[in-house]
Chains A and B, each alone.
Chain A
Amino acid sequence: MKPAWGHGVWCVVASLLLFVPNVAAVVVPFEAWPYTCAPMFAASPVDNALYLPTFILEKKDGSTEPLPTLPASGISEWLFKRAFLIEAWGSDDPSTSFGHVDDDTAAKRAARIERFVQAMIRHTRRSKRPVFDDVVALRIDLEQTQPVKSKRVLGRYVVAAHHFETRQRLEHQHSIAEVP
């Protein structure tokens, strides 16, 4: 009894559709659902630092407040932070699957962030959530929580101009309160 030729063809199709992309995802590495390089619990910041990003709305009346999350804005806080890192900010580690961009520049990063924040603002407006109605800018703060506490501003997205401006250090930004 010999195998039918049709069997062989489908075996090749299955290999091209599943096995080859799986191997590619491991080798490159990348993650594109359902192909994965399975990076869970692989890295630890043993000698590094942990950072907590926060998104702050700067209002027209000069006040500030954190970006509202579910259900007020329709945005999940932790998913938003992950999506922002992968889709917009980008990882600086070329060996990671967390959205590293080869030959990245500050201009490319700013363009990605502008696209990302514009999509978020569109989302809140389409869902009739008045999150950005009286907002001048969205500020992105980065707090280092260990080993030493510190805080800095990553940048500021100006809503009217659709423009993201990068800022360097907290100490240069007098408008931001010092972390106690």
Chain B
Amino acid sequence: MSGLLRLQRDLVLPLLRIVLLGWLLATRFIGASEGLRASLRKHPLELLHAPHLERTLGQLGWWPPPGGLVAAVGPALLICGICALIGLATRPALLLTGLAFIVINAVGSGWGFFNHTPALPGQLLLALALLPGSTGFSLDRCLLLAWRRRRGDSTPWLEIVCPPVPRFGEIFVGAVVGAFYTASGLAKVRADLLPWLSGSTLQWYLAGGARSLQYWYGPLDSDTISGHLYMGQVSPLGKWLASSSAMMAVLSWVTLATELFAPVFLILGRWWRVGFVVVAFGFHVVVRLTLGPAFTDWIIVDVVLVVPFLVSVFRRGQRSAVPVVESDAAISEIRARL
């Protein structure tokens, strides 16, 4: 426990805030808010009568919003997201952005399509709003530095702009990312363990078995239904891979191992984390080329988790990702003696 609260100056959370919000604003958020406004103007009830949304928001009594509010939703979300990115009123901006992102994406989920790709960044926005360390290199802290300097405070700039925080934040983000992968691995174990181990489930998807999102599956010749399918696209590479049962078994085992043990790799140590990210990157590329889903948001998060460490290794030629806090303390002590 004391390890979790040990102080360190970590760049993972500030970098995650900046990169993730930059990516989401450019791809999903602007798109989503534009889409939200366009949909509300053209076919308002399409959004409003998603079963989940009607049930949950209808109970709150504030949906649908009045027309003027609708027109303001897109720009307000955009400004909020930019504030979170540059770090102006960082935590409130992160919280509002995260909540809005989650509500917008919940519409699709209400219709029975749980989009797994934005679920991870949605959770991480909320995590960043709460965890210590995410306000590093924010405009808030730069303004604080300027104010302190005007008052004659000579504290080193880095102590104010990116102060040491408990390690918990960095480890927590790794654990949340790992939980998503483990969930996916356990779902395979739970639903179809033996066919997964033999490679036949993966083979079925890669060979184009799930060719339409409209299908349900269940036992033969029965009124009972088990679930609906996630569509896998049929690609030449996927078909080629599916032609080899041995290849399917190997890929299935690698997939299961990567997913099930993700949190262990992500928490164990920084080199373990790098190893996991390399494997996960390859895994996502193969999934994209064979089954279709890109999971770009997940790849970006994975890479951000290891970039500060790799940069520090590259720059200093040593394995310590962060300036050790003890050395800061030693410097302060020497200063005090002088």
> Footprint of B on A, CB under 8 Å?
1-3, 7-8, 10-11, 13-15, 17-19, 22-23, 25-26, 29, 31, 33-53, 71, 74, 76-87, 89, 91-93, 95-96, 98, 116, 119, 122-123, 126-127, 142, 144-145, 147-148, 150, 152, 154, 168
Which listed segment binds A: B14-22, B24-32, B76-84, B115-123? B115-123
A77 to B113: give the CA distance in the assembly, Å: 12
B186-200 CB contacts (< 8 Å) to partner A: 186-188, 190-192, 195-196, 200
Bound: A7/B134 CA distance, A: 12
Q: Which of A84, A89, A92 has the most CB of B within 10 A?
A: A92
Q: Is the interface of B mostly helix, strand, loop or mixed?
A: helix
Q: Establish whether residues A3 and B111, one from each chain, have CB atoms under 8 Å apart when the complex forms.
A: no
Given known contacts A22-B183, A44-B209, A14 and B226 CB-to-CB distance under 8 angstroms: no
Please pick, from B176, B205, B214, B291, the residue contacting A19 in the complex, using a CB distance under 8 A: B176
Provide the residues of chain A in CB contact with B176, threshold 8 Å. Answer: 18-19, 22
Q: Which residues of B contact A96 (CB under 8 A)?
A: 191, 226-227
CB distance from B291 to the nearest CB of A (A): 7
Partner pick for B114 among A23, A36, A52, A77, CB 8 A cutoff: A36
Do A43 and B201 touch across chains, with their CB atoms under 8 A apart?
A: yes
Interface of A is mostly: mixed
Q: Which of A49, A127, A154 contacts B220 (CB 8 A)?
A: A49
A41 to B195, CA, bound (A): 12
List 7 tightest A-B contacts by C-beta distance, closest first: A82-B112, A92-B224, A38-B184, A33-B109, A83-B112, A45-B217, A98-B227
Of A11, A45, A51, A81, the contact of B132 (CB 8 Å cutoff): A11
The yes or no answer to B130 lying at the interface (CB within 8 A) is: yes
Alpha-carbon distance A72/B127, docked complex (angstroms): 41
Contact A36 B226 (CB under 8 A): no
Bound complex: CA A44 to CA B106 (Å): 26
| Interface positions of B from 82 to 139, Cβ below 8 Å from A | 102, 105-106, 108-114, 116, 118-120, 122-123, 126-127, 130-132
The answer to whether B218 and A44 touch across the interface, beta carbons within 8 angstroms, is no
Which residue in B184, B188, B190, B215 is a CB contact (below 8 Å) of A145?
Answer: B215
How far apart are the CA atoms of A147 and B186 in the complex, in Å? Answer: 28
- B230 touching A40 by the CB < 8 A rule? yes
